[in-house]
Structure formats: C-alpha cells, structure tokens
Amino acid sequence: NGNIEQREKKIGAKVLLDCGATTVYVSRMFVKKHELKTHVYTDRTIKVKLGDNNFGEAVLELATITVRL
C-alpha cells in the first residue's frame, strides 16, 4: 500500500512495484476517478508491449505524480 500524490491531493492506493520498468503506468480509470490532471500530447504516441506479445498504441498523456510507499 502507498500514496499517489499530485499537488496537495493524496490518494491511498495499492501499487505494484516493478524494479525493471522504465515508465510508471496508471490506469485511465484511476486517473478519471481521482480527477488527476494530465497533459495530452496529440502529436505523440506511445507503444506498449502487452502480455500476449502484441503491441498497443495510444496518444501520449502524462500525469505528474509522486508515489510514496
């Protein structure tokens, strides 16, 4: 268990820490539920390798957060 923080907002959350990950991913549902502020880069996309070895692609959207464990 930990906290996700954005500015003065603190949200208790269960987190999965992956020491080999190069990026932190947060579900869109979590972002919407907790009204986290994001910035959309419509001119940039991100590719993600999925568990079945296929790739997904989406518009890049970033949220600046702090994760505290």
Residue 15 · residue 9 · CB < 8 Å: no
**Can you give the pLDDT at residue 56?**
93
- pTM to 2 decimal places: 0.69
Number of domains in the chain: 1
Instruction: Residue 16: give the domain boundaries.
Output: 2-68
**Can you give the pLDDT at residue 25?**
81
**Can you give the pLDDT at residue 48?**
84
* pLDDT tens digit sequence for 12-63: 999 888 888 877 788 889 999 999 999 999 999 989 889 999 999 988 999 9
**Can you give the pLDDT at residue 6?**
94
- List strands edge to edge, sheet with 9-13: 9-13, 2-6, 66-68
**Can you give the pLDDT at residue 37?**
95
- Alpha-carbon dihedral angle through residues 30, 31, 35, 41, given to the nearest 10 degrees: -170
Could you tell me which residues come within 8 angstroms of residue 13 by beta carbon, excluding any fewer than 6 positions away? 1, 2, 3, 4, 30
